[in-house]
Every structure is written in C-alpha cells, then in structure tokens.
Chains A and B, each alone.
Chain A
Amino acid sequence: MKSETVREQNVSESSARQADDRGPAGGTAALADVSAQEVIAAAAADIAAPANKAASADKAAPADEAAADIGTSKHSREKTERNGKNGRYAGNNRAHSGLYALYRKEMADHLHSGRFLIVLALILLTSYASLYGAVSNLSDAVASDSDYIFLKLFTLSGSTIPSFTTFIALLGPFVGLTLGFDAINSERSEGTLNRLISQPIYRDAVINGKFLAGATIILVMVLSMGLFIGAVGILKTGIPPTAEEVGRAAVFLLFTAVYICFWLALSILFSVLCRHAATSAMLGIGLWIFFALFMSLVASIVAGALYPINDTATVGRVLDNYECQTMINRLSPYYLYSEAVSTIMDPTVRTTNLVLPQQLSGAITGYLSLGQSVLLVWPHLTGLAALTAVMFAGSYIGFMRREVRSR
C-alpha cells in the first residue's frame, strides 16, 4: 500500500539521520540492536509503570508478550528496525511523557494566567502588611520575652493587622481553590478533554499532572513567601535566626503547603463532580467560609446539646463539653492547621489539649524543643495529609469512572 511506502521512507530517513549521528561505524544493524533492546526495556518499563494502576494484570500481559515477540521473532525485529526512530521515542519516556507534557503545560498555564498573578500579588501584599504589623509591635513584645524573636515575625499581630499565620490560615484556601476549581470542568466545556484523552496517555495522567503542577506552584509560592518574610525580617531586626528557629519556620512552611494542597485537591474534586466551573468555585468558597467562620459555632452548638452546661453542671461535664467541642473543631482543616501552626511557632505551647492547673503544678517552665513540638502536631500533619489524599483519591476515582463524551 501507498502508506507503507511513505512510512518506510520517513523511517529510513530518520534512521539514516541517526546513523549519521553515531558515525558510519555504527551502521543500521547496530542501530536495530540498540533500538530492539530499548524497546524491550521500554516494554519492561511499561509493565512496571501500570503496576500501581488498577488494570495492571490486563496491561502487563500484552506488554510481556510484546517483549517476548521482539526478542524472538524475526518479523518483529524487522519492524523494530524499520521504526528505528519510532522505537527510540516510543521508549522509556513514552508512558511518562504524557504526564510530563501535561505537567509542563499546566505549570506554564498557571504561571501565565492573570489569575495566578492576582493571587500572588494578594499573598505578597498580606505578607508585607502582617510583617509590617509584627515589626511595629516587636519592640514591645521583646521587652517582655526576648527569646525566639525570629518566630515572632510570623506570629505577632500588629495593633490592627492580624499575624502572618492567621492571614495564611484564612487566605491559603483561596490560593488552592483558585488553582484548581476549573481544572477538569473547563477542559470538558472547552471540548479539549476528549481530544486530550484520545492521545496515547494513561487517563490518570491528566488528573495527576494537574494536581502535581498545582502542588508545585503552591510549594514554590509558600517557600518564596517564607524566604521573603525571613529576609525582610532579618534586614529589619538585624538579628539572625537560630537553627531551631529556621527549623520551626521550615515545619511551618511544610504545614502551610500541605494545608493549601488540601484545598487544591478539594477544588479539583469539585471540578470533576460539577459540570460548571462556577458551581465548583461556589462550593469551594462555601466550604472555605464554613470552615473558617461557622465550624466553631457548629461545634459549640453540638457540644452544648450533647453535654449541656447549666448551673448544676459538674467539672466532668464541663470538661466533656470542651473536649467534644475540640474534637468536632478538629474535623475542620482550618482549625487543624491553626492549632498545629500555633504549636510549632510558639515553643511555650506544651499541649494541644486541655490542661488543668493541678496537672501543671510542679512543672518547670521552659521551652519545648523542636522535636517535641513536632511530636505534638504529628497527628495534625497526618490528618491534613490524609484529608488531602482522600480528596485527591475522590477526584481520581470520579475522573476515571466518568464517561467522557463531547461537551
């Protein structure tokens, strides 16, 4: 057929080019060998790659056969030779090139979008404002307690401006939601999604690429924010941070990144479930406001109903009520994050739970070491990471199961 000849010409051109690259000594035979090996390696990689995926057994079997084929049958070998160039790019990176290409495109999209620039400007502005407030109040605070001055830059609030940690707890969700709320449904409504998944990529590469790109942006943003505050703080105060302070700040930034990633995963989940970007954005914003403002109200109402406190309430009842309230609050990522961050950034905090004066009697006042502080908030970190994972798993499953039709 005509097509065959055309193809063959293309391929012989390309293999000729390759042969040139490698010098005349190599020749086509060697080339064929190399590419055959590469294809086998690629096939092996193919087997390895989908192993974590659901249909591993199904996919692996034909790949295995293909590898065997290439190894033994002459026909396949000829084919490999013919597809010299194809074989090369078909190789290792093929299964992953889709994910990489998507990741690259998503990153470029985020960095070029006006939306991202607005968010970045907002974050930088609030960072600066909270830093300004902290620095203006720093001398008073240092007068009463002169340890951990560097950390105070993050936690100290000005007379009218909230502290940096408070700002981030409030505005972090906004960053995550902005990055993800239209991840899948805009592809669907623009008609690009079915074009995308008809390319030779694994379907989950689409959602993985989007999440990974978003997470990378968040990580970079959070790190640069931390560095910015640190740098300005050092310039302003003239006091270098101790190693422990740097460690605490790093843990704080890690928490922040995970916290924002949770909101990213949540917004991607909404973008899978909702048909319109506006709906998913509204849902995300609704949840954000609920967690930030109303969750504590709900917690106190529920706790009040379960353990009513009246004139005759016992101490035990009051304790139960408080504990119930805390446990419900901790379902909210906002509370979880705030609690963890205030523990990490303030070495005087010894526990995240209720402590009675009796329990404190005889305790020696002092600071917790970084390790001990981290130990205190370890459950918070696991909780946040788990919530993120659950959200991502939800969107992953939702996306994989969704029938893709034209818009």
Chain B
Amino acid sequence: MDGMPIIHTEGLTKKYGSKVAVSELNLDIYPGEIFGLLGPNGAGKTTTTLMLLGLSEPTLGKAWIDGKDCTREPIAVKRIVGYLPDNVGFYSDMTGRENLRFTGRLNGLPDELIEKRIDELLEKVGMTEAADQKTGTYSRGMRQRLGVADVLMKDPKVVIMDEPTLGIDPEGMRELMELIRRLAAEDGRTILISSHQLYQIQQICDRVGLFVEGNLVACGKIDELARSMQQEGVSILETAAFPDDAGFRELLESLGNVDSVERTGDFYVVRSRYDVKRELLRRSLDAGYTLSLIRQRENDLDEIYRRYFEEAGEEHEVGDGKRAKRFGIFGKAGR
C-alpha cells in the first residue's frame, strides 16, 4: 500500500488504574486495506478500537483517522467510521428495516437516501426476506449480517469490526468473510478486524498486528511474519509410526535440537530448530519403526501466533503463571 495511512496512532496508551490496557501503540493502516488485530481476550483490542472511535479517552498518545483527531473530533470521526461492536444488538421490537432507518436518521441522512440505501444494503447482506421481521426473532448470524448493513448505512470510509466471527456457523462465517472481502475490494473501504479466531482472519487479512498484554508484538503481512520466523529457524513436523508405543516418543525426543514433542490425535507434532526429517527417517528404520506419516507443517498464522506468545509469555512470566496458562487454552481455541 502506498500514500498516507488512513488510521494513524502515535504512542497510544490507555491505563485503568495501574493496569495498562494498551501500551505505546504505534499503528499505521492504509486505505483499502484489511487489517487484522489479533490477540487473546483482554489483550487490549477492544480498548484500542474504542479509542479510535473516540468513545474512550486515551491516557497518553494520539490517534487520527483520515486526518481527524479521534479524541478531539469524535463526531467527525464517527461520521466516516462504521463500528460493528462485539455481539451487536438491535431493538428487538423493531424490524430490521426500522433499525436501519433509525441508524440512517441518527446519521442525519435524508429520507429518500435512507430508503434507497436500506434496500441496497439488505440485498448486499442477503437479508431482504427477513427485513420486515422483528429483530428479536433473528438468529445470531442474521444479527451479524444486519450489523454489517447497519455499519454501511453511513457509507463509511473505515469499518471497524470487533470479533465479527464469534458464534457464527461455518457457512455463515464463509459468507461473512466473502462480504468483508468485497467491502474492501469493491468499495475500497478500509477494514480493521479485531479477533482471536486466527483461521478466518488469515484468509482475508492483508496485514495483521499481534497484540499481547496491550503491546503490539508483531505487525506485517502474514507471509512476512512467517518468513521472519523461518529465519529464526523453526521447523514443525507431523509424524506417526507403527508400532505406536512409548519408544517412538523417546526416539523423537532424542533427535537433535528438538524443542518439544506433542501428541495431537494419532500423530506427534515435533518442533525443532532445523529440519530433522533425514535423521528421523534413518533412526526410526534402525529402531524398527515404520513411519506412517511424515509431513512438514506450513508456517501458518497459528504457529506465528504461538511463537510470539511464547516470546511475550517468557517476558511476562515473572510472577504470573495464570497468564501463561491462558495462552495455552487460547492456542487450542485457535485450532
């Protein structure tokens, strides 16, 4: 991406008492980009989005969207930024159409434009048929899609979505991802997604930022992050053998430079500093094991993620064991 960033923050910091929710955030997001803000719950993603919208005042630092100061000109910012909150809610005794109409009026749009836009957007998110039902009867996926329409009512330049994929079934998720991609590709909107669900984000994001404990620990394109990780020398191998006994595990652990061996389902995941395939082949033959699976795992976001969290976790390990545990659970949830 080129030109001026549309979202720009300088040393953005938010403290709640002595707890630092976001620390010294410097972020640039360029027009037309889909940016993924990733991190576990409580990493400061929502706080960041709230500060960008001017709904929460930063303790230190500044943020600009399209050249407008988010703290001092919140109205101007909110005019061009659409926000889809986590678990979006609608007035349940109003129909979908009425809810959208209300949003249009809050934005001060003229009536004929509101009606025109409602029809277009309902079509776009595939909600035309359910438009005149009360939103109280909607399923979660429908609410989310209506939420997207709601955000687009003001024709925003920037769309901020907080956990948009949470609690949606796979088919709904696929449609939503497609919709988000179209928003960026066809309409040229800038999209900021905050999430802890890696796979969906991996599919559509141009760039990602990894958030841990209020710090942005890594930022860039997914393949760039992967490459930088490879340079650091991490190789992940999936393997299984027959007979599948404790001896094989010992063998894996005895390979040179192996960091960890983990059992996942009916195969092992071996992490090592460099490629151990040759050594594994030779030694398992010698020991009388027949390899039934040997596969080099691609560097995906999950691995990048785990890697950075381990690093961040080590830094924070002093005195807080609970946090490390949370990463563990979180890693599984991401799978």
Question: Which positions in A face B, CB cutoff 8 Å?
Answer: 1-4, 6-7, 10, 14, 58-59, 62, 85, 88-90, 93-95, 97-98, 100-102, 104-105, 109, 112-113, 190-192, 194-202, 403-407
Contact yes or no, B87 A201, CB < 8 A: no
Name A101's closest neighbour in chain B (CB-CB).
Answer: B105
Is B60 an interface residue when CB atoms closer than 8 A count as contact?
Answer: no
Is B90 an interface residue when CB atoms closer than 8 A count as contact?
Answer: yes
| Chain A residues within 8 Å of B53, by CB | 198
Contact yes or no, A190 B31, CB < 8 A: no
**A273-B115 Cα distance, complex, nearest whole Å:** 37
5 further A-B contacts with Cβ under 8 Å, apart from A59-B73, A191-B85, A198-B78, are A10-B155, A89-B110, A97-B108, A195-B150, A403-B56
**A406-B162 Cα distance, complex, nearest whole Å:** 10
Binding-face segment, B184-192, B257-265, B309-317: B184-192
Contact yes or no, B87 A191, CB < 8 A: yes
| Chain A residues within 8 Å of B46, by CB | 405-406
| Chain A residues within 8 Å of B147, by CB | 195
Q: Could you say which of A93, A94, A101, A198 has the most chain B C-beta atoms within 10 Å of its C-beta?
A: A198
A31 to chain B, nearest CB (A): 16
Is B238 an interface residue when CB atoms closer than 8 A count as contact?
Answer: no
**A93-B109 Cα distance, complex, nearest whole Å:** 10
Contact yes or no, A1 B88, CB < 8 A: no
| Chain A residues within 8 Å of B188, by CB | 1-4, 6
What are 22 inter-chain pairs, A to B, with CB distance below 8 A?
A1-B31, A1-B32, A2-B32, A2-B187, A59-B72, A89-B110, A98-B108, A101-B102, A101-B105, A109-B93, A190-B92, A191-B88, A191-B89, A192-B90, A195-B85, A195-B103, A195-B147, A198-B78, A200-B75, A200-B79, A200-B107, A407-B87
| Chain A residues within 8 Å of B109, by CB | 89
Contact yes or no, A98 B86, CB < 8 A: no
- Binary per-residue interface labels of chain B (84-122) against chain A in the complex, 1 for a CB within 8 Å, 0 otherwise: 011111111100000000110111111001000000000
**A226-B157 Cα distance, complex, nearest whole Å:** 53
| Chain B residues within 8 Å of A101, by CB | 102, 105-106, 108
Contact yes or no, A194 B78, CB < 8 A: no
The answer to whether A405 and B50 touch (CB under 8 A), given A190-B89, A191-B88, A198-B55, is yes
Contact yes or no, A198 B85, CB < 8 A: yes
**A191-B140 Cα distance, complex, nearest whole Å:** 13
Majority secondary structure of chain B interface residues (helix, strand, loop or mixed)? loop
The answer to whether A195 and B89 touch (CB under 8 A), given A90-B108, A102-B106, A405-B46, is yes
Is B83 an interface residue when CB atoms closer than 8 A count as contact?
Answer: yes
Interface residues of B in 140-198 (CB under 8 A from A): 147, 150, 154-155, 157, 162, 186-189
Contact yes or no, A6 B187, CB < 8 A: yes
The answer to whether A3 and B32 touch (CB under 8 A), given A89-B110, A101-B102, is yes
The answer to whether A104 and B85 touch (CB under 8 A), given A62-B72, A198-B78, A201-B75, is no
What bracket does the count of chain B residues touching chain A fall in? 35 or more
| Chain B residues within 8 Å of A100, by CB | 105
| Chain A residues within 8 Å of B73, by CB | 59, 62
State which of A2, A6, A200 has its C-beta within 8 Å of the C-beta of B154. A200
**A199-B85 Cα distance, complex, nearest whole Å:** 12
Interface residues of B in 30-71 (CB under 8 A from A): 31-32, 46, 50, 53, 55-56, 69
**A102-B102 Cα distance, complex, nearest whole Å:** 8
B257 to chain A, nearest CB (A): 45
Lowest 4 CB-CB distances: which A-B pairs, in order? A191-B89, A3-B188, A101-B105, A97-B108
B177 to chain A, nearest CB (A): 20
| Chain B residues within 8 Å of A405, by CB | 46, 50
State which of A1, A4, A113, A199 has its C-beta within 8 Å of the C-beta of B103. A199
**A406-B55 Cα distance, complex, nearest whole Å:** 12
| Chain B residues within 8 Å of A102, by CB | 106
**A170-B110 Cα distance, complex, nearest whole Å:** 45
**A368-B333 Cα distance, complex, nearest whole Å:** 79
**A88-B154 Cα distance, complex, nearest whole Å:** 15
Contact yes or no, B83 A195, CB < 8 A: yes
B47 to chain A, nearest CB (A): 9
The answer to whether A199 and B31 touch (CB under 8 A), given A4-B188, A406-B162, A407-B89, is no
| Chain A residues within 8 Å of B93, by CB | 109, 112-113
